[in-house]
């Protein structure tokens, strides 16, 4: 089985001014200088350029938190993949549950965004996850399979192999509740099976867990065979906590 490099990403959501972003990067870099992991920071659009410049020459990569599928057009308030690439942004989070819940992001829109991201050479971090009601109803796998099949519907198997998947149970995001290691492993293994059935190089795809990952629980989650990293919200705002999670990833 190929070795998968651990992938640890901080999703800042709508947090941090440009000055605060600069402070974070300056504090983070010395703390993770020796890491072998892929370390990614996902600032709001306004702080992307600052983070890109501050991390130049380091292993830290930069991701946006969303993008529009068209290259340009009459889409007030939106930002396109080529605009992100022009800033030297390397990746983009797509389908975060907050975008699905508050901004009407649909699986159909994601099926258009994923090919657009790859065409621009942005690495997509696709978020999928079930609600608490779906889990309680025993529908977790059904929900995830539907999201994956639709969201990845515009990609061939080689393109799917270039996507990073983040499993984020909605009930665990920002709640302090974490999936148990058994739940995280079970779902991430299921996701890998779905990717394999789509013909992708499933053993090479990084599958992240996200949902209240903290320095105190990261090592246990990151040691699971099908969990290849984390998408971190709250703990990703603090350079010390985030560096501790990077450390736990090895």
User: What residues are labeled active site?
Assistant: 96, 168
Q: Mask of contacts with ligand PEP, 9-38, x by CB under 6 A?
A: --x---------------------------
Which DSSP state fits 236?
G
Helix (H, G, I), strand (E, B) or coil at 47: helix
What are the C-alpha distances in Å from 125 to residues 66, 90, 134, 235, 240? 10, 11, 23, 18, 24
Q: How far is the CB of 39 from ligand PEP (least distance, A)?
A: 16
Q: Does 207 bind ligand PEP (CB under 6 A)?
A: no
Q: What are the residues whose beta carbons fall under 8 Å from the beta carbon of 59, sequence distance 6 or more? A: 32, 35, 38, 39
Compare residues 6 and 210 and give the one whose CB is closer to ligand PEP.
210
A 10 A CB-CB count for 158 gives 11
Kindly tell me which residue out of 91, 110, 191, 213 binds ligand PEP, with binding defined by CB under 6 A.
Answer: 213
User: Is 25 within 8 Å of 55 (Cβ atoms)?
Assistant: yes
What sign results for the dihedral spanned by CA atoms 132, 137, 143, 144? positive
Q: Does 239 bind ligand PEP (CB under 6 A)?
A: no
Which residues, numbered 116-175, are part of the site for ligand PEP (CB under 6 A)? 168, 173-174
Which residue, judged by CB position, is nearest to ligand PEP in the bound state?
233
Here the tokens at position 27 are: 């504090």
Compare residues 42 and 79 and give the one whose CB is closer to ligand PEP.
42
Compare residues 84 and 93 and give the one whose CB is closer to ligand PEP.
93
Compare residues 138 and 176 and give the one whose CB is closer to ligand PEP.
176
Q: Does 211 bind ligand PEP (CB under 6 A)?
A: yes
Kindly tell me which residue out of 6, 43, 169, 233 binds ligand PEP, with binding defined by CB under 6 A.
Answer: 233
User: Is 181 within 8 Å of 221 (Cβ atoms)?
Assistant: yes
Chain residues that interact with ligand PEP, rule: CB under 6 A: 11, 168, 173-174, 210-213, 231-234
């Amino acid at each position: 089985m190929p070795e998968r490099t651990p992938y640890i990403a901080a999703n800042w959501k709508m947090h941090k001014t440009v000055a605060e972003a600069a402070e974070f990067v300056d504090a983070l870099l010395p703390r993770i200088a020796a890491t072998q992991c892929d370390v990614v920071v996902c600032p709001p659009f306004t702080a992307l350029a600052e983070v890109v410049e501050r991390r130049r020459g380091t292993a830290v990569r930069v991701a946006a938190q969303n993008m529009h599928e068209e290259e340009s057009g009459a889409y007030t308030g939106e930002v396109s993949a080529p605009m992100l690439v022009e800033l030297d942004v390397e990746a983009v989070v797509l389908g975060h549950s907050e975008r699905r819940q508050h901004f009407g992001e649909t699986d159909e829109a994601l099926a258009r965004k994923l090919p657009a991201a790859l065409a621009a050479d942005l690495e997509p971090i696709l978020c999928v996850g079930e609600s608490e009601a779906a889990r309680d109803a025993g529908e977790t796998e059904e929900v995830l399979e539907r999201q994956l099949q639709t969201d990845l519907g515009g990609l061939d198997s080689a393109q799917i192999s270039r996507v990073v998947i983040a499993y984020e149970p909605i009930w665990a995001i920002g709640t302090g509740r974490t999936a148990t290691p058994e739940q995280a492993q079970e779902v991430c293994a299921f996701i890998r099976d779905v990717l394999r059935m789509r013909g992708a190089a499933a053993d090479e795809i990084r599958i992240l867990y996200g949902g209240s990952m903290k320095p105190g629980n990261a090592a246990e989650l990151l040691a699971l065979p099908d969990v290849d990293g984390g998408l971190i919200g709250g703990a990703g705002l603090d350079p010390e906590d985030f560096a501790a999670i990077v450390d736990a990833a090895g």
